[in-house]
Structure 1
Amino acid sequence: MALPQAWHQRLRLPAVAAPMTDVSGPDLVIAAAVHGIIGTFPTHNAKSTDELDAWLSHIAAATKRTDSVSSPVAPVGANLVVHRSNARLSGDLDCLLRHRPEIVITSVGSPAAVIGPLHDAGILVLADVASLRHAYKAIESGVDGLVLLSAGAGGQTGWANPVSFVRALRNDYDGILVLAGGISDGHGVLAARAAGADLAYLGTRFIATTESLASAEYRQAVVEATLDDIVSSVQVSGLSANVLRSWLEAHGVTQAPPTGLDGNTHTGFAQDRLLAQPNVWAAGHSVSGIDAVLDISVLAERLAHEYQQAQDLLLQAPVNGISRRWR
């Protein structure tokens, strides 16, 4: 589809380790990339723009590409909150322009103002969207692709059915589509591809890894949870976000506030509000597919095996009693 051709040889499977507040740091990004999965992190996880500068330098050095076909390194990227409440927007953007990661994912607001500078620096720009209206606005602004936040995504979430969301856009959009929402294994990655997405976004699955910034208690809570333990709330940032019920109850919130028909009850996003609540236990419906805390090397091997297994199952599937090869 729309992925840069050179990436196909660099990806072990078409997946992104999604950027997660208080979870994604240099160790996670590096481990994902060297094992063939796109690694990303939010710039605000670095406590200052100076620390962001150091993180980007460290990540670049650790993921320096080689010509080795046997050990390709996947692209890495950063997530930039472009909302007007982000006091570090200008400084973090300048930092990204100096370091030139291959990808920047914009969130919470129009990417229009940052696309020009990022493109001039040779950076591919994706935008988080949770509705068709925002998707088409992002397309009009000139993004290279979209991250579709669908029902079941951890943290900031969407309301749309994931397959319907992909199909509604793929019919007339040939840019990069990344599907986010409830994907925890290789079978889910293949399902995203079958629906028409170029890449699958896996966030929650990477919380329960040894390289994540999450606490041991948070990781274990993710392992023990099921999708019935996920609650949508505006408590975290003012936007609908999926979190573990146990975290909400520990903070005095016993149920999610009501949502509108679009599933997005907004009290108004504020970056300071998001950052003022460290160690939020965000998670998505994919918790039901997580049974252990793993090193990313082991997780990557498992995901690749599951992806191949899912392909093999489809190739062997009977149609009208006759086995056919589906490719």
Structure 2
Amino acid sequence: MPLPQQLAGRLAIPAIVAPMFLVSGPDLVVECCRAGLLGTFPALNQRTTYGFAAWLDAIEARLTQTPGTAPYGVNLIVHRSNPRVEADLARIVQHRVPLVITSLGAVPDVVAAVHSYGGLVFHDVTNLRHAEKAIAAGVDGIVAVAAGAGGHAGTLSPFALVAELRAMFDGTIVLSGAMSEGRHIAAAEVMGADLAYLGTHFITAAESMASPEQKAMMLASHAADIVYTDTVSGIPANFLGPSLAAHQGHAGALDLDAEAKAWRDVWSAGHGVGGARAVRAAAEIAAELIAGYRVARTACAIATTSTAKPIHIADRITHDAT
């Protein structure tokens, strides 16, 4: 389907840079938006609602200095375990944040609050049951977190997940899962998604808040180094195997001393980790994605409009037999 009116014509390519815990901050968001990608961050990356509001002020002031930038978004954990939901939502409404990505629950009241000023609400899901609840809550879009995505990923193939979501939902579908090249974004569109959701590829961005040690581990890792486990938070998620091994005790249990915290010292990443080749500016990463996307879309257009007669399997078998 067409992008929502609030996003139409405002993105260089149909891509959202995902909100990453302890990684996404104002610097990364601003540079992604300036490059034409929709930058986002989790509200909980700031320890207080006051700090969260200060980040919103900073992001908006910096984006105002560069006309024509892409919009930005905030990830809001709406589960009852988050005591800041109401306070953070009030700041979101006050700042008229263009996109709110909700997680761990689809709440109609949150959707209504964001819709009150013309904002968009996307909700991330790993299965169809959660998607049904999000649709019932009135969200504008669904982030389909497929197998291979970083963090709390699902296990469904993106082909199956997007197809089944499209059959039940005519809103915006955002595909997440191991995308690290421009042609992957084009492929997501061909599959039926409207936007791609990239996180892992930006952990090594110069502007990300990831530590130098985390970035170094990312650059040394490949898809086979990603471990899908529930030992960290009780919910299955993808993590860098070496960071797990560094804190693993007997029988695979985490062994974290008083100075180490699972949420801080065990690092998440998706199967696209092998796509990161160096610590680079977010603008450089974005430019490479944009160029790759345009090449892929041009190739698709040429293939679609080609007047050459397609060679069918039966024709090839006959030709080879002669």
SS in 2 for 1:3: coil
Residues 49, 84 of structure 2: 8 Å contact kept:
yes
2:36 is matched by which residue type in structure 1? G
Deviates more, 1:229-238 or 1:214-223: 229-238
What is the match of residue 274 of structure 2?
A: 288
Relative distance call for 1:98 and 1:311 in structure 2 (3 A) is: same
Relative distance call for 1:255 and 1:98 in structure 2 (3 A) is: farther
Runs of 4+ in 1 over 3 A off after TM superposition: 253-257, 315-321
What is the match of residue 180 of structure 1?
A: 176
Q: Does 1:309 find its partner at 2:295?
A: yes
Which residue, 78, 81, 84 being the options, matches 2:74?
A: 78
In structure 2, C-alpha distance between the alignment counterparts of 1:255 and 1:220, rounded to whole Å: 27
Relative distance call for 1:97 and 1:280 in structure 2 (3 A) is: farther
Q: C-alpha displacement at 1:277, in angstroms? A: 2.2
What is the match of residue 223 of structure 1?
A: 219
Deviates more, 1:180-189 or 1:112-121: 112-121
SS in 2 for 1:191: helix
2:247 is matched by which residue type in structure 1? H
Residues 81, 89 of structure 1: 8 Å contact kept:
yes
What is the match of residue 8 of structure 1?
A: 8
What is the match of residue 90 of structure 1?
A: 86
Q: List gaps (5 residues or longer) in structure 2.
A: 254-260, 311-322
Identity %: 44
Q: Say which structure is richer in helix.
A: 2
2:286 is matched by which residue type in structure 1? A
What is the match of residue 234 of structure 1?
A: 230
Which residue, 191, 214, 219 being the options, matches 2:187?
A: 191
What is the match of residue 49 of structure 2?
A: 49
1:200 is matched by which residue type in structure 2? A
SS in 1 for 2:7: helix
2:37 is matched by which residue type in structure 1? I
Relative distance call for 1:36 and 1:287 in structure 2 (3 A) is: same
2:9 is matched by which residue type in structure 1? Q
Per-residue displacement from partner, 1:143-199 (whole Å, max 9, x unpaired)? 111001100000111111012111112134210110011101101101111111111
Which residue, 163, 168, 171 being the options, matches 2:167?
A: 171
Relative distance call for 1:221 and 1:109 in structure 2 (3 A) is: same
Mapping of 1:133-282 within 5 angstroms?
Answer: 133-252=129-248, 277-282=263-268
1:303 is matched by which residue type in structure 2? L
In structure 1, C-alpha distance between the alignment counterparts of 2:263 and 2:275, rounded to whole Å: 27
Relative distance call for 1:276 and 1:62 in structure 2 (3 A) is: same
In structure 1, C-alpha distance between the alignment counterparts of 2:304 and 2:243, rounded to whole Å: 45
Count how many residue pairs are aligned between Structure 1 and Structure 2: 303
Residues 226, 288 of structure 1: 8 Å contact kept:
yes
What is the match of residue 315 of structure 2?
A: none
Per-residue displacement from partner, 1:229-252 (whole Å, max 9, x unpaired)? 000122332211101000100111
Q: List gaps (5 residues or longer) in structure 1.
A: 258-274
Relative distance call for 1:253 and 1:13 in structure 2 (3 A) is: farther
In structure 2, C-alpha distance between the alignment counterparts of 1:256 and 1:180, rounded to whole Å: 28
Per-residue displacement from partner, 1:266-285 (whole Å, max 9, x unpaired)? xxxxxxxxx86224310000
Relative distance call for 1:12 and 1:173 in structure 2 (3 A) is: same
Normalising by structure 2, what TM-score? Answer: 0.88
In structure 2, C-alpha distance between the alignment counterparts of 1:14 and 1:255, rounded to whole Å: 44
RMSD: 2.3
Per-residue displacement from partner, 1:68-127 (whole Å, max 9, x unpaired)? 6xxx21110100001111111121111111111100000012332311212113221111
Relative distance call for 1:323 and 1:9 in structure 2 (3 A) is: farther
Residues 248, 254 of structure 1: 8 Å contact kept:
no
Relative distance call for 1:313 and 1:54 in structure 2 (3 A) is: same
1:64 is matched by which residue type in structure 2? T
Q: C-alpha displacement at 1:319, in angstroms? A: 10
In structure 2, C-alpha distance between the alignment counterparts of 1:57 and 1:6, rounded to whole Å: 21
Relative distance call for 1:121 and 1:22 in structure 2 (3 A) is: same
Relative distance call for 1:243 and 1:316 in structure 2 (3 A) is: same
Relative distance call for 1:122 and 1:6 in structure 2 (3 A) is: closer
Instruction: Report which of the two structures shows the higher radius of gyration computed on alpha carbons.
Output: 2
